[in-house]
Amino acid sequence: MATPAATSAPLIEKHTIGYVPPEDRHGKVRDLFTLWFGGNIAPLPIVTGALGVQLFHLNLLWGIVAILVGHLVGGVLMALHSAQGPQMGIPQMIQSRAQFGSLGALLVVLIAGVMYIGFFASNIVLAGKSLHGVVDSVPVPVGIVIGAVGSGIIGIIGYRFIHVLNRIGTWVLGIGIVVGFGYIFTHIQTDDFLTRGSFNLSGWLATVSLAALWQIAFAPYVSDYSRYLPADVKVSSTFWTTYLGSALGSSLAFIFGAVAVLATPVGMDTMDAVKLATGSIGPLMLVLFLLSVISHNALNLYGAVLSLITLVQTFAYRWIPTAKSRAVISTIVLLACCFAAVGASKDFIGHFVDMVLVLLVVLVPWTAINLIDFYAIHKGQYDIQSIFQVDGGIYGRYNPQALLAYAIGIAVQIPFMNTPLYVGPVSAHINGADLSWLVGLLVTSPLYFWLANRDTSYRRRMMGGKLAGNL
């Protein structure tokens, strides 16, 4: 559903973390499918998907099953967050103040910002390597800078331009990856394509977790890209277009990575394997992936900048951030990431994956609390004015119930963790499979619901909330 604003919306986004009023709402629900489908056909999910057969030693069949299960499960949570956007009209991270309080939300906002800066830095490394693979004379560090600048321009222009590029990218990348699959299957270079690896429970669970966590990692900013839609858009429409786009695009990219490494000799770097496996169309595939990573990486920069603005605005509550503020902060983040990525490009991706696994341990309970609060407690009704008040308005500076459930949600994951910093006893017992995210969700969700409903003062504040659409 579109509004008159759809034809008059400026290309350069003027809003940052503020509420998007009805007169500025624009776009169509189907844009969410193209955003998350096109955005997920990129080098980083391809590299991540290959781990199922490279690192966890699954064969092709069980690798594909694990990938599909993980994305289909994790995508539900991701899409439920997306459906909040049209109703709230504000970014996901600042909405967390309604669950945790104005100061209580700071930790989660900071963690989300750090994670997306890490995503951005990792993707510009992949952009640099992809550009070097296409044009040997371009050194990887130069490619990193080019990739960062391209993503920076898109991120600074903002919301509408990001959607436009991904509408185009969905068709181009969708056709490209189908052609790539066709070439690989008709030019397999190994005798053990179907027999390399085997089913092992720990590797299968680890691959499921990797795919599910890929989806959950979008949760802190997925509704940022639906918040401009008209408030009367159906929740189910927003959910399904996001879910199908993200689950399908991510699954294709993950499976493509697994297929490419199985079709080439053991031990090759994933992107080198893609280039070799796709033969004569390899350079074209690398060009498409290069353009994809530059476009998609703008989302990571955009999300990181909104998180940083939210952090600053918590203390400088009279500050009204503008498009200029977003551009300045984007440039600072871009320069810092370029410096870090150029200096550590050889092993940056490995360190990044390790970092994300650690950060997701503290983001999973946030996901559970946010979804339970939105759908089961408040039922989508919040006082937007209170969210922007320095004292949190009716939500206060801290919500003890949310913070207690959050702390317990982190603690119960510890025995099931498998990160570079710590391997829990349960994870060690099942050969390293990380099930912490699943335990965190299953414990935090009912615990927060119970705590919130026992707090009579919290329920009174809930009843005092206003509909976001009334502002």
* CB-based contact 134:287 (threshold 8 Å): yes
* Contact yes or no for 174/33 (Cβ under 8 A): no
Question: 209-221 pLDDT, tens per residue?
Answer: 889 989 998 888 8
What pLDDT score does 470 carry? 41
CATH number at residue 238: 1.10.4160.10
Neighbours of 161 (CB within 10 A): 18
Q: What pLDDT is stored for residue 351 in this prediction?
A: 63
394 located within any domain: no
Angle at 119 between CA 118 and CA 125, to 5 degrees: 90
Residue 299 and residue 120 in contact, taking contact as beta carbons nearer than 8 Å: no
* Structural domain contains residue 122: yes
Single-letter amino acid, residue 144: I
Inter-CA distances, 122 with 37, 43, 47, 351, 431, Å: 20, 10, 11, 9, 28
Mean pLDDT of 253-270: 91
Residues 222/66, Cβ–Cβ less than 8 Å:
no
d(CA 188, CA 259): 10
The angle subtended at Cα 388 by Cα 385 and Cα 392, nearest 5°, is 90
CB atoms within 10 A of CB 376: 13
Residue with the bigger pLDDT between 320 and 132: it is 132
Looking at the domain assignment, is residue 201 inside a domain? yes
Amino acid at 454: R
pLDDT score recorded for residue 6: 46
- Mean pLDDT over 247-263 rounds to 95
pLDDT of 148 strictly over 60: yes
Q: Which among 468, 434, 452 has a CA at the least distance from the CA of 55?
A: 434
Measured between alpha carbons, how far is 438 from 221 in angstroms, rounded to an integer? 21
Rounded mean pLDDT, 292-316: 84
Contact predicate 245/34, CB 8 Å: yes
Confidence tier at 372 by pLDDT (50, 70, 90): very high
User: Which domain, by its residues, includes 181?
Assistant: 20-347
Task: Dig out the tokens for 98 from the structure.
Answer: 């309604």
Instruction: Pick 405 or 283 by higher pLDDT.
Output: 405
DSSP code of residue 375: I
**CB-CB neighbours of 312 under 10 Å:** 14
Within a domain: residue 24? yes
Let me know if 280 is exposed, middle or buried by CB neighbors in 10 A (0-12, 13-18, 19+): exposed
Cβ(43)–Cβ(289) below 8 Å: yes
Buried b (16+ CB within 10 A) or exposed e, 129-148: bbbbbbeeeeebbebbbbbb
351 sits in which H/E element: helix 348-372
Average pLDDT over residues 444-449: 95
Q: CA nearest 343: which of 166, 121, 84?
A: 121
Instruction: Out of 4-8, 52-56, 238-242, 421-425, give the one with best mean pLDDT.
Output: 238-242
Encoded tokens for 315 = 């203390």
Average pLDDT of span 141-148? 87
Average pLDDT, the chain: 84
The count of structural domains within the chain is 1
Domain membership flag for residue 51:
yes
Q: How confident is the model at residue 374 (pLDDT cuts 50, 70, 90)?
A: very high
Find the angle CA(61)-CA(67)-CA(72) to the nearest 5 degrees: 125
Is 316's pLDDT higher than 80? no
Least confident of 229-233, 354-358, 393-397: 354-358
> Based on the number of CB atoms within 10 Å of its own CB, is 339 exposed (0-12), middle (13-18) or buried (19 or more)?
exposed
- Residue closest to 438 by CA, chosen among 114, 219, 216, 202: 216
Contacts 24+ apart (CB under 8 A), 102-105: 102/314, 102/389, 102/390, 102/391, 102/392, 102/395, 102/396, 102/397, 103/314, 103/392, 103/397, 103/398, 104/397, 104/398, 104/399, 104/402, 104/403, 105/314
Has residue 127 been placed in a domain?
yes
Q: Would the pLDDT of 466 be above 60?
A: no
Q: Is residue 412 part of a domain?
A: no
pLDDT digits (tens, 9 = 90+) for 5-21: 444 566 676 777 788 88
> Measuring CA to CA, which residue among 303, 254, 210, 245 is closest to residue 79?
245
Sign of CA dihedral 113, 117, 118, 119: positive
**C-alpha dist (Å) from residue 244 to 49, 255, 450:** 18, 16, 32
